[in-house]
A and B are shown apart, each in its own frame.
Chain A
Amino acid sequence: MSTLDYIVLLGTLVGIAAYGMWRTRSSGGLQGYLKGDDSIRWGTIGLSVMATQASAITFLSTPGKAYDDGMGFVQNYFGMPFAIIFICVFFIPIYRRLNVYTSYEYLGQRFDSKTRYLGAFLFLIQRGLAAGITIYAPAIVISSLLGWNLDLTIVLVGALVVLYTVSGGTKAVSITQRYQMGIILIGMFVAFAMIIGNLPDEVSFGTALSVAGAMDKLEVVNFSFDIEERYTFWSGLFGGLFLSLSYFGTDQSQVQRYLAGSSVSASRFGLLFNAVVKIPMQFFILFVGVMVFVFYLFEEPPVFFNQATLDAVAETEYAGDLSALQDRYEAVVEKRAEAVRALALNLDQGDAAAIALSKEQAVALESEALLVRSEVKELIGKAGEDFEAKDSDYVFITFILNYLPEGLIGLLVAVIFAAAMSSTASELNALGSTTMVDFYRRLAKADQSDAHYVRVSRILTAAWGGLAISFALYANLVENLIEAVNILGSLFYGGILGMFLVAFFVKSVKGSAVFSAAIASQLAVLAMYQTLEIGYLWYNLIGCGMVMLLSFVLQQTVFRKGRSVGTHE
């Protein structure tokens, strides 16, 4: 990266953080610190909700996923619009009427303290771990490609987020997210334009699309009923519905965003904005990845996108094997480029027979290239246990670093870090609030002044920041970062959502029944994940269904006597 890139990168990240701190330099009491004084407008809420969900992982992993597997991942979000409508109808009016700081407060009011603590505890575990991955994800990828010190990158990015989140609370998080999201959207459009601009002159946008389709990258919807397929219309609609219900309806990192709205209307409209915009946005990010794939059909791609790993393997006894594979790959992709150029020409001329022939050749050569890539990954696995044999998170950023001009590289790296910071800020803000409201204020010090609780909230937010940074420092790269976060969420979210749905809709069930059901279901889901081969999105539905059914059965049997006693706080 050049000096100009560093100026753009640091100017963007530090500038937004400093502006957020300046705007919230006098954030009143606890209401102001945790809920932004209920003053935030729907547009800011909309962008804040979007920025919370779209972490750096979204912009690193998603294009890489499309590069490997095409567009099918977008189906994951198909349940989201209906989940958001459901939340607007049932959740938001109740949260606002009860004037809660956290969603788990509602569990306490509807059931009892232990159920509230369980809900808050499950949130703290999974979101605490996810916060570490959110910081770690961009740091590992960018530091390895740019030769930065990984630990220093994690600490600096983490410290900047902690600084403005601790300083300005919820309002600072929402204000900074508005500008971070603006930079992210501008950056992604610039990247897309640069990819299209870097295609060979004779390849139009329409031809690039046809080539991507011919290479099997444009299957967006798959109506298969196979439960073992990871992304289908049905798993996206039903599994995604429960994942989104739980994430937007019960996860404090999101609930806190829309509870800061100036009215029910602002909260609802901010959330519904995401119901409309999120799927097209994910489609666009995946589409960027597919266009990177098309670009590399004409240009020689690296045999493996993580250059640091390749360099490390080249230092081992497998260096000779790697070099041979690289030569083989070079020859295959050269032939593939010729075949794809012929395919593009035939597509332009519309000669069906010639299209079929050149497509067959291009697809065969692509299969051969994929075979060499898988052999390289196998070799990397053999060369060292610590070597990561998956490179999809490196695809998009490698393109940026190699093909974008000075200044724009800094902007796109800023996009990645801005996304990481915006998600982490919401997570830390929510972790601090939940610990303070659901645990500290109830178990340690009740009836203290607002100033005391704000001070403690700041300390707790900083402590969670420190924990997330520590976790990031000791994390190892998992198979695919975005999937790791989604899997982690899916294992816990179903149970939490089940507790909330019982609270809303099954009035006969009381605290002890739902508490026992939630613990039993959580253990069952973890055991199933270890032993069965089910697409992970289904665990949202399974966990939720188990809690609802089991709590009802327990209430009718084991806890039958307690029904008339009542367990409200």
Chain B
Amino acid sequence: MEANKEKRESDQAPVFGSWRRVYWFVALFFVAEVIAFYLFTKFYA
């Protein structure tokens, strides 16, 4: 049981609490990047 608990803890996502939230963060960060790139392109090109 101790080993299971240790394993669960070692598989936990740091900072965000759950892996699902980490993945959403990465995906939304990408969307924000593309929007920023689009605005950058529109503004300068």
Chain A interface residues toward B at CB < 8 A: 42, 74, 78, 81-82, 84-85, 88-89, 209-210, 212-213, 216, 218-221, 233, 262-265, 268-269, 272, 275-276, 279-280, 283
A82 with B44: CB separation less than 8 A? no
Contacts of B19 in A (CB 8 A): 88-89, 268
A283 nearest CB across to chain B (Å): 8
Known A265-B13, A269-B13; contact A219-B41, beta-carbon cutoff 8 A = yes
Contacting residues, chain B, for A221 (C-beta < 8 A)? 34, 37-38, 41
Q: Whole-angstrom distance between the alpha carbons of A221 and B27 in the complex?
A: 18
Q: Is the CB of A218 within 8 A of B44?
A: yes
Question: Within 8 Å CB of A265, what residues of B?
Answer: 10-14
Q: In the complex, A62→B18 CA distance in Å?
A: 36
> Is there contact, CB below 8 Å, between B45 and A216?
yes
Give every chain A residue within 8 A of B44 (Cβ-Cβ): 209-210, 212-213, 218
Query: Number of A-B pairs whose CB atoms are under 8 Å?
Result: 66
Number of residues of chain B lying within 8 A (CB) of chain A = 21
Within 8 A of A (CB), among B1-37: 10-14, 19, 22-23, 26-27, 29-30, 33-34, 37
Q: List 22 interface pairs A-B (beta carbons < 8 Å), by A numbering.
A: A42-B14, A81-B29, A82-B30, A85-B26, A88-B23, A89-B23, A210-B44, A212-B44, A213-B43, A213-B45, A216-B45, A218-B44, A219-B41, A220-B37, A220-B38, A221-B34, A221-B38, A221-B41, A265-B12, A269-B14, A272-B26, A283-B37
Residues of chain B touching chain A, judged by Cβ–Cβ distance below 8 Å, are 10-14, 19, 22-23, 26-27, 29-30, 33-34, 37-38, 40-41, 43-45
Closest B residue to A85 by CB, please name it: B23
Note all chain A residues with C-beta closer than 8 A to B14: 42, 265, 269
Q: Are B45 and A264 in contact (CB under 8 A)?
A: no
Sort A-B residue pairs by CB-CB distance and give the 10 closest, nearest first: A213-B44, A263-B10, A220-B37, A218-B44, A219-B45, A81-B30, A264-B11, A85-B23, A275-B26, A220-B41
Contact (Cβ within 8 A) B26 A220: no
The complex places the Cα of A42 from the Cα of B33 at a distance, in Å, of 24
Partner of B30, one of A88, A218, A263, A279: A279
Instruction: Report the separation of the CA atoms of residues A509 and B33 in the bound assembly, to the nearest whole angstrom.
Output: 39
